[in-house]
């Protein structure tokens, strides 16, 4: 039985409507990121919130098209749910209980992952998997799959090709396993996707989630858990 690449969660509008949401398809993720990186130019918390609300509107365009604009989001969704949507769909984590202002948190995340996203040649990765799908064009591909799904397809395709090369190299006495360990933008992107935006480090245990955990045979949700030591404990009465 095929295993899910990622989990979906249900968020609730102000009127009680429940919507099942997960990572954005690549088509919407590209738009999300283009808007999110404008956070660098925000001069105050109000401008940052406008940008984040616009990002939430892009998420809703995929999962609940009745909500299309920032004004629609402000009318139908409360602020904690906006933060939840940003986390689920785009890996942007905003904690209103932190001492840092919302814009400071958002700007820090934008700076942390901008180089990874910008350095990733998405068109090249899409071209690599295009022949194995039934997509008519790249627009249809981007509208059909998420980044976790793209990564899984690439991993499977590359594993097959690598094992074939490994077999022929072994015949010649060459150990490819010892020569193939490196970290690059691709590895960083995988870590960011599987950790839900929490790390770019492929050696960080929190990157062992979803498909990566399935490959390793262990990870978060598969016998392991973790505690965020940076997060302040909730106050109790």
Q: How many residues does the chain have?
A: 237
How much is the pLDDT for 236?
47
d(CA 100, CA 15): 30
Task: List average pLDDT for each run of 10 residues in the chain, which is 237 residues long.
Answer: 67 96 94 92 90 96 96 96 94 84 86 71 86 89 90 78 58 60 56 57 52 53 54 49
Instruction: Report in angstroms the alpha-carbon separations of 161 from 154, 164, 167, 222.
Output: 10, 5, 10, 28
Burial class from Cβ neighbours inside 10 Å (0-12, 13-18, 19+) for residue 155 reads middle
* CB 217, CB 232: distance < 8 Å: no
Q: What residue segments make up the domains of the chain, in order of their start?
A: 9-119, 122-224
């Amino acid at each position: 039985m095929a295993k899910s690449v990622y989990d979906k969660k249900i968020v609730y509008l102000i009127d009680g409507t429940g919507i099942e949401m997960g990572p954005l398809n690549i088509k919407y993720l590209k738009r999300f990121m283009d808007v999110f990186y404008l956070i660098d130019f925000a001069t105050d918390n109000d401008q940052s919130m406008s940008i984040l609300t616009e990002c939430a509107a892009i998420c809703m365009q995929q999962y609940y098209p009745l909500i299309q604009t920032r004004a629609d989001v402000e009318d139908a969704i409360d602020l904690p749910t906006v933060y939840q949507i940003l986390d689920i769909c785009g890996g942007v984590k905003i904690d209103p209980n932190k001492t840092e202002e919302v814009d400071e948190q958002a700007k820090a995340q934008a700076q942390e992952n901008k180089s990874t996203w910008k350095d990733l040649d998405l068109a090249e990765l899409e071209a690599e998997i295009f022949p194995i799908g039934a997509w008519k064009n790249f627009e249809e591909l981007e509208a059909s799959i998420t980044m976790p799904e793209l990564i899984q397809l690439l991993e499977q395709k590359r594993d097959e090709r690598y094992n074939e090369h490994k077999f022929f190299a072994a015949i010649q006495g060459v150990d490819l396993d010892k020569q193939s360990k490196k970290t690059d933008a691709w590895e960083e992107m995988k870590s960011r996707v599987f950790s839900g935006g929490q790390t770019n480090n492929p050696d960080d245990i929190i990157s062992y989630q979803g498909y990566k955990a399935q490959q390793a045979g262990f990870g978060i949700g598969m016998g392991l858990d973790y505690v965020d030591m940076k997060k302040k404990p909730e106050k109790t009465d």
